[in-house]
A and B are shown apart, each in its own frame.
Chain A
């Protein structure tokens, strides 16, 4: 148990008063960053990075990684309260979190989200502590075909999850793919569908679209309903945390499964966003009454939050062991490492033991501290819903505009956000599901890229997607999930099971 000894040394480093203070500062800043849509962990850390040059590297990474944990926690808050995902990985949390808030269960949803975030992170940290080298080796097996297979699995686990007519789901998803394709095409280096406009060169940033589609369109709907929240007022009481905790243990299997999905996606490195979608999709599929998802099921909050936090945490592993960031935020941290004079990659574990184990110890402590901070604040967050809508709507609108602007410092994105708001409103009125659109928009270009890279490698042969056990297994899982609805439908047709289908006779 060499690891335990090193970990204890790490704790000794982290528990220095100065580092503890930086940890608290980092968590608080992180929650703030997570709450403001668009600012995001990556931007927040990039802004604060120069402040850390004067610090020793361990202190610097403790503060910055705590901002990261804080942002992971904070992203859930606006998703649940206002249907506005603060971070891309919180989109799936809105599906059930917002309905819960509308039913007056905002505090429950927040508690569940924070607690499951913590659980996910904890599983990931334990994994990092003890089996980091093995896992790092596994990540090396992921080339373009494997990456495509993982993306395929994400889509497959998600298909059929919207309740709308199949054709509308397909339409929404195709619209997402179309939007994802705008801008620079990595494979050919050509601009696509920009129509000569300089503003379109950037493509449609996922966050701008999501802020508009979810946040602005929600405000439009509320205005139509007469300037008030549709839901019941949250009943706030301090015991809610304990009550939710008492109900959580029965979801242990869901939490474990979501953690594993998260860890896997974080390492590969596909990141927290696909992890949250996949976990939500699988949870819905595995539930006996999947149809009730999307109407305010606590499982619908637990699954994506656990997976997102597990992925966000384990995304740091490929960064440390391979020098490849598992998420945009990790990419900025990676830049930080280099500036502090540390070379990320396999040698870090050998040459900078203090640093690595200090960081790992700070993950344990940072998440415990983070959980305490956000749980204490739950009643206050939930109380925001008591502010009259006519006031809060204006604030949300301003915050959304700032968020959309911050993503890439472009004024055009604010216009775009408003446009997406109108589009989202119209789609809602026409009963088109937004989830498939968002999924395709966020994963579309990475999926396309991986597919085309694979075909470049194989010179056009589709056999590359079944060329080894790893990629074949993932593809097979994907097809299994994809065909599941067909299979269960076919089973219903079998003689003797035809209980409720006389029309097909």
Chain B
């Protein structure tokens, strides 16, 4: 008898919890009535694309939305194509865009008529970290040693694309220390990491997820991370080091800080209820174990924001990028 009663109570409890957890149907004022287009302003296989496809997978696996989500890559013109499409879709609640730093840099570098204010910011999902990597066979064990060497001889910094985040960091390093790095642009982060393994360049500022496998297998060495604090992940990645063992750039005497936005936007002119739906959806995406695993693997900075805080952050970042791009002479 007691077991039966117990199970009925837990059933009731379960039902109650379920009702609490999901906003009831009456409360949910709006939900998509057509498939949602998820625009990636970058090519297939890159960091933004991976993240978009993970989100798509989580949404369908955990049935977070009734309508399907369709990932569409619009990579033309360093992402300008995707942003312009979202700009032109004013009022369309069935479209979301994932962004990387090209949200700021592409219009500044190319003069394409676009600004983040042409879109509705939904949420910051995470910030992607940048790490200074060198070949493990190189003599440089710390960022300071690397900078010293870069002042003496001409060193090559490999990175993704031109006048984008990697090159901005390169210029910022030069400005902070007086060292000149020759920047060599490649098409994607994975390719950049391998070019460093093959010693075709002297250093890179790859995101953790792009270089982690080469760190673990031996050929690469991290020198510092361009964040104000160390990475959170304390699990040992090599025999001796965890992500959290990499010093910050500032600790190493290099005053450069850079993080890349991984955020979601909607076209301008959408209803508050529609915006609220996507905010809620992304909230639930972030709570899934699959998402936490991605964050762990890529050693992401898991700061997230919505609403006014996010807008304020975007305004500040845009101004900072304008200064950085201007100092580097990258403005169109």
Residues of A within 8 A of B (CB): 42, 46, 49-50, 53-54, 139-144, 183-191, 194, 198, 201-203, 318, 322-325, 328, 331-332, 334-335, 338-339, 341, 343-348, 350, 408-409, 449, 453, 456-457, 459
Closest to B160 in A: A186
Beta-carbon contact of A187 and B185 below 8 Å: yes
Query: Which residue of chain A is the closest to B72 with respect to CB atoms?
Result: A409
Which A residue's beta carbon lies closest to that of B39?
A409
Q: How big is the B interface, by class?
A: 35 or more
Please report the C-alpha to C-alpha distance between residue A366 and residue B109 in the assembled complex, in whole angstroms: 46
- Cα-based distance from A323 to B220 in the complex (angstroms): 14
Stretch at the interface among B116-124, B191-199, B239-247: B191-199
Q: How far is the CA of A346 from the CA of B72 in the complex (A)?
A: 30
Q: In the complex the two chains form, is A323's CB within 8 Å of B194's CB?
A: yes
Q: Which residues of B contact A346 (CB under 8 A)?
A: 213-214, 216-218
Q: What chain A residues lie within 8 Å of B216 (beta carbons)?
A: 345-347
Contacting pair A325 B45 (CB below 8 A): yes
Q: Is the CB of B74 within 8 A of A343?
A: no
Q: Which residues of A contact B193 (CB under 8 A)?
A: 323-324
Q: Which residues of A contact B195 (CB under 8 A)?
A: 143
Interchain CA distance A325-B190 in the complex, whole Å: 8
Q: Which stretch of B3-11, B161-169, B249-257 is in the interface?
A: B161-169
Docked pose: A41 CA to B162 CA in angstroms: 28
> Closest B-chain residue to A54, C-beta based?
B61
Pairwise interchain contact A188-B162, C-beta atoms closer than 8 A: yes
Residues of chain A within 8 A (CB-CB) of B156 are: 457
How far, in angstroms, from A453 to B49 measured CA to CA in the complex?
Answer: 25
A residues in contact with B190, CB < 8 Å: 322-325, 334
Q: Mark B133-154, 1 if CB is under 8 A from A, else 0.
A: 0000000000000000000001
Report Cα–Cα, A325/B191, bound state, in Å.
8
Say yes or no: is B302 at the interface (Cβ < 8 Å to chain A): no
Residue pairs across A and B with Cβ atoms less than 8 A apart, 13 shown, are A50-B60, A140-B194, A144-B200, A184-B110, A189-B167, A201-B80, A201-B81, A202-B77, A335-B44, A335-B45, A346-B214, A453-B185, A457-B200
Q: B297 to A338, Cβ gap below 8 A?
A: yes
Q: Are A323's CB and B45's CB within 8 A?
A: no
A323 to B46, CA, bound (A): 12
Q: Which of B49, B73, B80, B161 contacts A186 (CB 8 A)?
A: B161
Is there an interface contact between A183 and B77, defined as CB atoms closer than 8 Å?
A: yes
- Does B293 touch A at the CB level, under 8 Å? yes
Contact with A53, one of B61, B182, B217 (Cβ below 8 angstroms): B61
Is there contact, CB below 8 Å, between B187 and A186? yes
Q: Which of B50-58, B222-230, B264-272, B303-311 contacts A (4 or more CB under 8 A)?
A: B50-58
Tell me the bound Cα distance from A343 to B237 in angstroms. Answer: 12
**With an 8 A cutoff between CB atoms, is B126 at the interface?**
no
Q: Is the CB of A189 within 8 A of B109?
A: yes
By the criterion CB–CB under 8 Å, are B81 and A202 in contact?
yes
Q: How far, in whole Å, are A157 and B330 apart by their CA atoms in the complex?
A: 39
- Cβ of A201 and Cβ of B112 under 8 Å apart? yes
Known: A50-B53, A335-B44, A347-B217. A456 touches B182 (CB 8 A): yes
Given contacts A202-B77, A453-B184, A456-B182, contact A331 B112 (CB under 8 A): no
B44 touches A328 (CB 8 A): yes
Q: How far is the CB of B162 from chain A (nearest CB, A)?
A: 3
CA–CA, A27 to B73, complex, Å?
25
B78 within 8 A of A: yes
The answer on a CB contact under 8 Å between A50 and B57 is yes
Give Cα distance in the complex from A469 to B175, angstroms. Answer: 38
How many angstroms between the C-alpha atoms of A400 and B229 in the bound complex? 53
Q: In the complex, what distance in Å separates the CA atom of A80 from the CA atom of B293?
A: 47
- Measured CA separation A335–B186 after assembly (Å): 19
